[in-house]
């Protein structure tokens, strides 16, 4: 059975999933890369960048699970790029170069339309202007019975959580305090929304916590 999921989404101990002042030269905001240090040392990340080697422990296993059985992705516009407002042109093609890491249809939430963008490696970005329900319907159809992964950012995940559209949420909780940034949980009562912690395991640089929505 296919599910709608969030996989290995990094948050600080005080609940922030991105730093302040996101821009082209620091897409995760100030101190944001500290959230991803659990991932940078894994074999999965190093293989993605053609580096070889890397650790193969718990963090790597959780990273591998994040890419299994994924048939489509949904991203907020900030995850695609730093441009705000109407698209000035079609020159911006994402953060990742010619071959993004998704390899399946990927639906980008935006208020401004743009033609679909086919990239190397099987990723095609589709730009959805009519909200999260429309994006999810299209992603489920494109996934063909496989899972739909909500990739972020924070605002996008919060919208899907508030609407109770996420079946499973896997967090990589980093033992750091950001103090400020984009909060995942502010104003959300995950328990009241029907979510409960069902798994937790300590990795090398993060604690991996899984929440599932009760039926």
**Residue that has been written with the tokens 């600080």 in this structure:** 12
Predicted local confidence at residue 30, as pLDDT: 84
Contact predicate 74/151, CB 8 Å: yes
Q: What is the pLDDT of residues 196-206, one digit of tens each?
A: 999 999 999 99
Q: Is 80 exceeded by the pLDDT of residue 1? A: no
Contact predicate 31/20, CB 8 Å: no
pLDDT band at 21 (very low <50, low <70, confident <90, very high): confident
List the domains of the chain with CATH numbers.
4-20+30-83+99-213 (3.40.430.10)
Contact predicate 69/90, CB 8 Å: no
Q: What is the pLDDT of residues 78-133, one digit of tens each?
A: 899 888 899 999 999 988 889 999 999 999 999 999 999 999 999 999 999 999 99
Provide the greatest CA pair distance for the chain. 45
pTM of the shown model = 0.94
Report the 3 state secondary structure along 178-208: CCCCEECCCCCCCCCCCEEEEEEEECCCCEE
Mean pLDDT, residues 64-87 taken together: 94
The angle formed by the CA atoms of residues 176, 191 and 18, to the nearest 5 degrees, is 30
pLDDT band at 26 (very low <50, low <70, confident <90, very high): confident
């Amino acid at each position: 059975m296919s599910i709608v999921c969030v996989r290995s989404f990094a948050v600080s101990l005080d609940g922030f999933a991105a730093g302040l002042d996101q821009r082209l030269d620091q897409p995760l905001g100030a101190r944001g890369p500290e959230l991803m240090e659990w991932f940078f040392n894994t074999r999965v990340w190093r293989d993605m960048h053609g580096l070889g080697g890397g650790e193969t422990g718990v963090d790597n296993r959780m990273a591998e699970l994040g890419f299994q059985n994924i048939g489509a992705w949904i991203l907020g516009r900030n995850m695609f790029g730093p441009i705000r407002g109407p698209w000035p042109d079609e020159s911006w093609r994402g953060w990742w170069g010619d071959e993004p890491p998704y390899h399946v249809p990927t639906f980008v939430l935006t208020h401004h339309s743009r033609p679909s963008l086919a990239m190397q490696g099987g990723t095609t970005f589709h730009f959805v202007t009519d909200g999260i329900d429309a994006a999810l319907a299209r992603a489920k159809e494109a996934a063909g019975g496989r899972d739909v992964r909500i990739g972020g950012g924070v605002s996008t995940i919060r919208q899907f959580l508030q609407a109770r559209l996420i079946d499973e949420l896997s967090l990589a909780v980093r033992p750091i305090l950001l103090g400020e940034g984009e909060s995942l949980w502010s104003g959300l009562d995950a328990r009241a929304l029907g979510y409960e912690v069902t798994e937790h395991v300590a990795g090398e640089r993060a604690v991996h916590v899984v929440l599932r929505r009760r039926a």
